[in-house]
């Protein structure tokens, strides 16, 4: 959403100031509105989080269960942080040819409006898939593996569609990429809450996100590689331009 504002003239620095201002506000909201500590509403022995050292000493009870979740999270974050920015860098002319990148006068759309629609697909894919994940139980190992496979398949499909460089398909690509990520989030949160010992919840979530963001860093660092994959050797009138 913020990149849509950037595309219509918002300074990039404003995005960083927005993040800078939002963090303390979020911390205050959490501090005043977070649920009461679990020890006041349930047995402390059931919900109390152990220390990092204790979790590492008891690694067999949670790390092996976390491996498939972490790998799926790494893949989905890679695609999520790669496909979106690559689309912004690819469709960088004043207009976008929706169906044929070689066309300069057929089925055109203003680039800013195109990016707004792209972000709507992104939003619906992400939010909708998270809610969808909570419609299923995922209470067996087989169900978890199938669900993670579905999430990763969506992410990979999104990446492959984006690599074609066709604007209309990139809407679907972004939807799939972020739907895969959102579904992965929903499955992982249910799994960690339900099947990993509760005393290790904090470190399990932390390690899951740590591995996932390794994928995100790799994805954002290779946006240029993906753009070259889409654009190299091609001469399009409205996309893959050297400058906007």
To the nearest 10°, the Cα dihedral for 203, 44, 196, 216? -30
Q: What is the reported pLDDT for 79?
A: 94
Residue 239 included in any domain: no
> Do 117 and 28 share a structural domain?
no
Residue 243 included in any domain: no
Q: What is the reported pLDDT for 39?
A: 47
Look at the block and give the residue holding tokens 């050297």: 242
> Do 93 and 24 share a structural domain?
no
Q: Residue 197 is part of which domain span?
A: 42-231
Number of domains composing the chain? 2
> Do 91 and 201 share a structural domain?
yes
> Do 90 and 14 share a structural domain?
no
> Do 128 and 67 share a structural domain?
yes
Spacing of C-alpha 151 from chain mean position: 11
Within 10 angstroms of residue 196's Cβ, the number of other Cβ atoms is 20
Q: What is the reported pLDDT for 126?
A: 92
Tens of pLDDT along the chain (244 residues)? 666 666 667 787 887 888 899 999 998 988 887 766 544 554 555 567 788 888 888 888 888 888 999 999 999 999 999 998 888 888 888 899 999 888 778 888 998 889 889 999 999 999 999 989 888 887 777 888 899 999 999 999 999 999 998 999 999 999 999 999 999 999 988 888 877 888 888 899 999 999 999 999 999 999 989 988 888 877 788 888 875 4
> Do 206 and 119 share a structural domain?
yes
Q: What is the reported pLDDT for 82?
A: 92
d(CA 80, CA 183): 12
Q: What is the reported pLDDT for 7?
A: 61
> Do 96 and 10 share a structural domain?
no
- Asked if residues 70 and 151 have their Cβ atoms less than 8 Å apart, the reply is no
pTM confidence score:
0.78
CATH number of domain containing 173: 1.20.1250
Length of the chain equals: 244
Q: What is the reported pLDDT for 194?
A: 77
């Amino acid at each position: 959403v913020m990149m849509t504002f950037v595309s219509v003239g918002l300074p990039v620095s404003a995005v960083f100031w927005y993040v800078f201002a939002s963090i303390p506000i979020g911390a205050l909201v959490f501090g005043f509105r977070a649920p009461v500590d679990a020890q006041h509403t349930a047995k402390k022995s059931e919900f109390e989080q152990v220390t990092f050292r204790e979790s590492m000493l008891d690694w067999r009870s949670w790390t092996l269960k976390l491996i498939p979740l972490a790998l799926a999270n790494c893949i989905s974050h890679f695609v999520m942080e790669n496909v979106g920015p690559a689309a912004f860098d690819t469709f960088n002319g004043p207009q976008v040819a929706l169906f044929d990148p070689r066309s300069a006068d057929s089925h055109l759309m203003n680039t800013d409006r195109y990016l707004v629609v792209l972000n709507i697909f992104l939003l619906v894919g992400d939010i909708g898939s998270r809610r969808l994940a909570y419609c299923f139980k995922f209470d067996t190992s087989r169900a978890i593996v199938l669900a993670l496979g579905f999430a990763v398949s969506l992410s990979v499909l999104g990446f492959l569609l984006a690599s074609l460089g066709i604007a209309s398909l990139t809407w679907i690509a972004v939807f799939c990429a972020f739907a895969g990520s959102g579904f992965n989030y929903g499955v992982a949160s249910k799994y960690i809450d339900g099947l990993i010992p509760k005393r290790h919840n904090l470190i399990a979530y932390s390690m899951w996100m740590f591995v996932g963001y390794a994928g995100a860093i790799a994805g954002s660092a290779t946006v240029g590689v993906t753009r070259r994959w889409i654009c190299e050797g091609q001469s399009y009138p409205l996309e893959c331009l050297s400058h906007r």
